[in-house]
Each structure stands twice: as C-alpha cells, then as structure tokens.
Amino acid sequence: MSVCIRQLAAHCSLGSDLSSCVESLSRLELPAPVKRHFDCSHEQVAIPYFRMRNKPSGDFYQILINRLANLLDRAELNADDRLDTALLIGSSSFDVHISEQQYQQDLAKLGDQAAVSMPIVGYGKLAETFGESLGLSSHRYTYSTACTSSANALLYAKQLIEQGQVKHALVLGLEPENNTSVLGFYGLGLISPSEQMHPFDDDRDGLVLGEALGAALLSAADVTPAPQRRFTLAGGAIGTDNHSLTAAHTSGSEIARVIDQALQQAKISPADIQAIKAHGTASLKNDEAEAAALNRIFAGAIPPAFALKPYIGHTLGACGALELALTLGCLQTGYLPATPSAKGDGGLGVKLLRQLKPSQPGYYLLNCFAFGGNNNALIIHDQGEKGSE
Amino acid sequence: MVSPVSDELKLRLKQIIIEECDKDELTPDDIANDEPLLTGDLDLDSLDVLQICMAVKKEYGVRIEGNTAARRALKDIDALAQTIADATAE
Amino acid sequence: MYIENSYSLLHKVDAQNPVLADAQAVIQQWHGKRIRRIDRYIQLCVAGGLACAGERKLPSNTGVYLSTRCGAVSTSSQVMHTIESENELPKPLHFVNTLGNSAGFYLTQLLQLTGTALVLSKETLSFEAALLHAMMDINSGLCDYALVGTFDEVALPVDHQLQRLNAAPNAPHLFEGTHWLLLSKSATNTAIGSPVYARSPSELLQKIKWQGSDVQLGFEPCEEERHQLEGQTIEVFQNEALAAGTVPHGAFGAASLLDAAGKNTPLLHINRTEPNHYCGVAINA
C-alpha cells in the first residue's frame, strides 16, 4: 500500500508558511541570522541564530494546535477520519523553553534552593495535549532521537499506515528557540564563527542553529483524494553508527548502509535518484562522512544535490519534517533549490547546486543524521503534476 | 619569555583531568608530567578536550580555542601548565 | 510474537533517605568494567539492555526500541541550573548526555548493534509504544529480534522531583527502574500480543476479544474501572506500595507487564494514561 504525503506546513527563518518559504528559496536570498547575546559569568557570548520570520506571539501550545488543526482542515478530515489519525511528534527540545521561562520566574521569586530546575517533564505531554484537543486516535508518539527525530516520525507514520493501525498520520517536527540548545551547541564548539553555513566547502566552519516547525499529513493512498496523491513516501531506513558519540564515521560506511537500505526498501537503484537533499551541517567531520557515503553509493556520479541549512540553520529535531516540507514545496513549484555561495571546493566530491534547476518527476533522497549515531534516509517519489490529477 | 610553572598548578591540572574526564580509577600520581594526554594510555577524546578546556577557562580564565591550539596545549601536563602560566603572566 | 528474555529492575526510593538503584553494579556484572562519563539515566539504559541481552550474541540488525517518560531529568536539570542560575555555559559532557541518542549509543556500541534504534515516549504508555514499534518492524521483516526497554530515574533532591511529577509533597517513596524484553518471532514459553488502545476498559476487552479471566493492572483503578472489568480477577501490580502513596515512575507499566509475563498463565496487562486512554497487551493468550 502506498502512503501519500498530502499536506505540508512550514515555519522557519524563510517565512511563516510553506508558500512564503518556497518563494524565499526561489529568490536565493540567504536570511541573516540574529545575534543572541548571553552574559555568562566568565565571558560575554554572541551566538548567531535563525529565528522564525514573523514569529507569532501568544500561547505556544495553542498556536501549535491551531497550525495542526489548519492542516487537518485543509485535508478535509472529518471527526471520524481524525479518530483514525495518528500524531507523531519529533523534537529535540519540545517545550524546554517554557520550562526555562518558568524556572527563571521561580528563581526570581523563590531563590536558588527552592526553585525547581527543569520543572516541566514528560516528552509525551505535547502529543497527548494536541491529540486530545484535535480529536485524534490514541496512536500518539513522540520521538526523541536528536536531529533525526521528525525524520524517524515520518518513517513510522508510514509504518503505522501500512500495517493498518491508522489511515492517516500527522507528523510534527518542532524546534522552539531555547537557551539550552544554543548554549549547549556553543559549548561543544559547533557554532560557525563566520556565522554562515557552507556545507561541503573547504571553508566550512560549523553550523548556525534555527527555530522551526515542519509538519506533514500522510494518508493511505486509497483514502487520499487524487489531487493529493502526487508525493509518496516510497521508503526509508534507520541505521546506527556507534563509531563515535559526537561525530559520524568519516569513512561514510554507516551512512552509505542506511541509504542503501532505504533504496532497497523503495525497490529502486541509485540511478533512479533524481536529486539529493543533503543533511549538510557544514561541520568538518559530518560533511566528510556524508560526502564519503554519497560517493560510495553513487560511485562518483552523484545526482544534483542541495542543502537547505544555509537558509534555515540546523533546526535539530524539526529538520526532518521541515526540510521534507521545503523540498516538496519546491518540487510543487517545479524547481530544485540552490545555494549560490556554494563553492564545491571541499575536496569532498559533493558540489551543491548553485542555480535553481527545473525538477523532474521521480525519486528523491532525503538525508538526515543525528548526534549519537542515529542515521535516517528517506525516499520520496514525485509523480509530477500530471500524476496527481 | 617562559613563565615559571608551579608544581601546585600541575597537581591541580591532574585533578581537573581526573574529575572532568571521569577517570575515577586514577590518582594524580598516575599521570606523569610528560605523559601524552591525547595519544597515550589516558586515551582522552575530543569530548574530554572540550571538558578540560572549559574547566581551565572557568578556573584560570584562560581560553584555549580551536583544534590546533587545544592539541598543542593538551600535549601533556607540562604543556598545559605552561600555556596557563604564559597566559596568566601576560 | 514471543519473549526471548526479560529483565526488570524496580527500585523503591525512600523519600526521606534516598538511596538510588545501583545500575553501575549491573553493568559491571555484564560488561566487566565501569563505563566512564555516563549519567544515571544512561546507566539505567545500559544496565537493563545488557542484562536483557545476557550472554546472547544478537544479530547486528536487532532493533533497539528505547522509551522513557521523562528522559534524563537529573542531567537536564543540572544543565538548566548551570545556564539559568549560575550563568555559565553547560559542561559539554552534561549537554551531550541530555541528547536523545546518547543512552542508545553506549548500549548499541557494547552490543555491536547497527540497525534501527529509536527513543520513544508516550507518557505512562511509553513502553507499550516502544513494544508496538518493535512489533511493526519485526512484522515487516526489518529485523528478527528487538530489544525493547524503558527507564525512568528519580532525580535528586526528592522534593524537586515530586514537584515535577505533580506528586504529593509527603509521598513516602518513589519508584525508579529499567525494564526490558527481548522480542522475537520464534516460539518460546511466553507469547505476547500487540498493544491495543481503547478509551475504556470494557472497550479494551472487546477489542482484544479477551477470553481469559485474569487482568493485571499497572495503575490503581477507580470504582468505574473495576465495574467495567467485572468478571475478571483483577490484580493491581504493587498494590500495597501504590496504596501507601509510593509514586510510580514513568516506566511503572512496563514493570507490571514484565511481572505479568513471568507468571506463565494467560493474563491481560492493562495500563492507563491520562485522560483515560487504556492500552492492553495479552500475555500467553
């Protein structure tokens, strides 16, 4: 049974909805990150950060519920359909920013001894609250595998539908702005001193984090209206690379293995891949590992590749769903995104597209890798505009 | 000019390494001043390096930034102590 | 599906005089040496996983399905305290230990597993959620074995932990633990059914088509829930401890399920999450 990706949503540094994000990408304009200043005891630090464009104010939880409700409405799912809809949330930070705010208030009010650090616990709370509010099925799952969280959620959305547990699955990738992620990554020395991400280039010097939301509604093909059947999640795989806790195996062998499994699962060969959405974090070793894997799989004939993080930053647990939404949004408009600043001089053998390129129907590989060696590769099939009619 | 380095500083650095890298099985006496920190028996990795650099910054206000500087400073206890002595003497 | 092996460490922590479970001792038993740099949350994961795998050499594609309700609370709260109260950068090691895959990294490295690995959460039904994911992957032919585990720790001080859990401030005890099973398709003594959800206990009995007469609950039922289970012999797991006000940990339902699985009789394990979502798993049915 094929599983269609029928509705998408995105909100990141490029725009507050998918069409504005896609339009920004088509203009090839790199948003400038803001500077986040922290007055630490031993130093003042200023860390670049891609904040959401037109970030809404108001209750964080209600805003998300409204976004998801809108997605369900667009798909015209009725109450019965919703009871047959799973909710899968992938995030690395969840609502830790609310926890931080509450702790700051308690510190001011109660003092250091009495204030409870990390007052809000329970990764699954968001899914239960949202699922209840939206009238969804009991299949409500939360994935916490760092940067692959929402990519893994997409893969299990497909599993749940294929195995008949539900007809529909709503996937949310979420990374709200918070101090823990920003200062944690800074402390690891992973933030780009140049404040720009240059994936696969010689002068790559790290990443810039970003806040984002990406969402997708998946449904079994037999309950998806024909105009919404253009994209299917054709396959995917998860692999574990336990070579090192903090960096991928630079031989690329582990990443190549997961891409190979994803291709097998989709029953296609490397030659069928039209283009690659690279993970491309612009960190030294991870780009080396991804490039080595792509060279292994595609034997030196790497299909056109693009990376979205120079535009949106690394949105951690949200990046799987967000970058899927942006990629499919670009395909709907008929082009592959590009990075004009990419030099392709890194000796890694991966040259990112520098100009927009018309897209073709076919298969697309979406890479996503996480800290701690959790790797995910997804294969999307685009039937093209005609296929959805 | 090379700044003088005290034995107390070297002892404290050994304690920092044991603590920050969770090398509970060691005592400062087990670490020779010229024992390689990154390639020898201690087998410290990049995460250990980050831990030590952050602790040194906090305790001595000395920043050791970037891979090359860290590898040079963390060659052995002698080199680390000298790096701190030189930086704090400036 | 069948249970090849299981391991459950349920530890009761005295709120007045807290002594935490010694997970390093379990690790030492199976691995032979202490692992440096891992916090108690990761220790609970590694200890349970190693003990459940036992002497077996698992195929490298064995799936690993980790679950937790609250995650690495001790280290996460330490990181937040460092940032918000001390105005310092978090220690790299502390931050890394809070990341989702860190616990699984150590376990899969020790067991030399390179296949699917997940970290899942679903409030008090986190273990059941992990079990369902493992079963889906075995069903689809992705792997022949799955290591399914859940773990939740007590973070000190106890009064802070009780506030995080919205528990009574005078609770006498808190549970923590690590609970695991090794799942496969090859028949063993203990058969285990797929987790099924329902909005009430009676609906659950219908959906599972439960023919047995024994039910084990991972929670204290109210009158209405008992009424809906009329005709069944009901056993509440750790009934006395719960009645005495012991605060269950996020993985408590898994401790109940594994206890039920050890009884070698047909039993329906039922667990609950707020607001009134039930999950049932038939054992030996």
Would you kindly state where each structural domain of chain B is located, as residue ranges? 7-89
**pLDDT reported for residue C275:** 80
Chain A contact for B69 (CB, 8 A cutoff): no
Note whether residue A35 is domain-resident. yes
Chain A contact for B61 (CB, 8 A cutoff): yes
Strand partners, A46: A37
Architecture of domain B7-89: Orthogonal Bundle (1.10)
For position A257, which CATH number holds? 3.40.47.10
Spatial separation of the C-alpha atoms in residues C65 and C143, rounded to whole Å = 12
Residue ranges per domain, chain C?
2-189, 191-283
Question: What ipTM did this prediction achieve?
Answer: 0.97
Q: What CATH number matches the domain at C2-189, 3.40.47.10, 3.40.1010.10, 3.90.25.10, 3.20.20.70? A: 3.40.47.10
Chain B contact for C99 (CB, 8 A cutoff): no
Most confident of A263-267, A339-343, C29-33: A263-267
Chain A contact for B40 (CB, 8 A cutoff): no
Say if the Cβ atoms of C92 and A373 lie within 8 Å: no
Say if the Cβ atoms of A39 and C87 lie within 8 Å: yes
Strand partners, B46: none
Residues contacting A253, CB < 8 A, separation 6+: A292, A293, A296
**pLDDT reported for residue B1:** 57
Q: Which residues of A touch C137 (CB under 8 A)?
A: 159
Most C CBs within 10 Å, among B21, B22, B23, to test the C interface: B22
pLDDT > 70? residue A334: yes
Number of B to C CB contacts under 8 A, please give it. Answer: 24
Say if the Cβ atoms of C122 and A183 lie within 8 Å: no
**pLDDT reported for residue B89:** 82
**pLDDT reported for residue A245:** 85
Q: Where are the alpha helices (DSSP H) in chain A?
A: 18-26, 60-74, 79-83, 96-110, 125-134, 149-162, 179-187, 253-265, 284-298, 309-312, 319-333, 384-387
Closest of A68, A94, A199, A206 to residue A146, by C-alpha: A94
Residues A5-18: pLDDT tens digits? 999 999 999 999 99
pLDDT > 80? residue C154: yes
Closest of A141, A32, A33 to residue A86, by C-alpha: A141
Average pLDDT score over residue span A220-231: 96
Determine the distance in angstroms separating the CA of B1 from the nearest CA of chain C, rounded to an integer: 33
Match 């336990």 to its residue by tokens. A242
Match 């479970």 to its residue by tokens. C21
pLDDT > 80? residue A182: yes
Most C CBs within 10 Å, among B42, B47, B65, to test the C interface: B47
Residues C181-206: pLDDT tens digits? 999 999 888 999 999 999 999 999 99
**Domain interval for residue A40:** 3-384
| Tokens at A22, concatenated | 């896609």
Average pLDDT score over residue span A197-222: 97
Q: How confident is the model at residue A389 (pLDDT cuts 50, 70, 90)?
A: very low
Q: Judge whether A220 and A76 are in contact, CB under 8 Å.
A: no
Spatial separation of the C-alpha atoms in residues A265 and A251, rounded to whole Å = 23
Note whether residue A389 is domain-resident. no
**pLDDT reported for residue B18:** 96
Chain A contact for C61 (CB, 8 A cutoff): no
**pLDDT reported for residue C47:** 98
Question: Distances from the Cα of C259 to the Cαs of A144, C203, C216, C218, C265, in angstroms?
Answer: 27, 24, 9, 10, 11
pLDDT > 90: what percent of chain A? Answer: 93
Note whether residue A298 is domain-resident. yes
pLDDT > 90? residue C249: yes
Please indicate, yes or no, whether the overall pTM of this predicted structure exceeds 0.80: yes
pLDDT > 50? residue A310: yes
Residues A237-253: pLDDT tens digits? 999 999 888 878 899 99
Question: Distances from the Cα of C65 to the Cαs of A18, A103, A145, C39, C118, in angstroms?
Answer: 33, 32, 11, 20, 5
Report the number of distinct structural domains present in chain A.
1
| Tokens at A78, concatenated | 């009725």
Chain B contact for C199 (CB, 8 A cutoff): no
Residues A70-128: pLDDT tens digits? 999 999 999 999 999 999 999 999 999 999 999 999 999 999 999 999 999 999 999 99
Chain B contact for C37 (CB, 8 A cutoff): yes
Containing H/E element for C131? helix C126-139
Q: Choose the closest CB to A143 out of C89, C118, C123.
A: C118
Say if the Cβ atoms of B46 and A247 lie within 8 Å: yes
Determine the distance in angstroms separating the CA of B35 from the nearest CA of chain A, rounded to an integer: 24
Compute φ and ψ for C119, nearest 5 degrees.
Answer: -125, 120
Q: Judge whether C267 and C283 are in contact, CB under 8 Å.
A: yes
Please tell me which residue of chain A has the smallest CA distance to C75.
A118
Spatial separation of the C-alpha atoms in residues C140 and A144, rounded to whole Å = 23
Crossing angle of helices A319-333/A149-162, nearest 10°?
Answer: 70
Greatest Cα-to-Cα distance within chain C, rounded to the nearest angstrom: 60
Local mean pLDDT, 10-residue blocks, chain B (90 residues): 83 96 94 91 90 94 87 93 89
User: What's the mean pLDDT when you consider all of chain A?
Assistant: 96
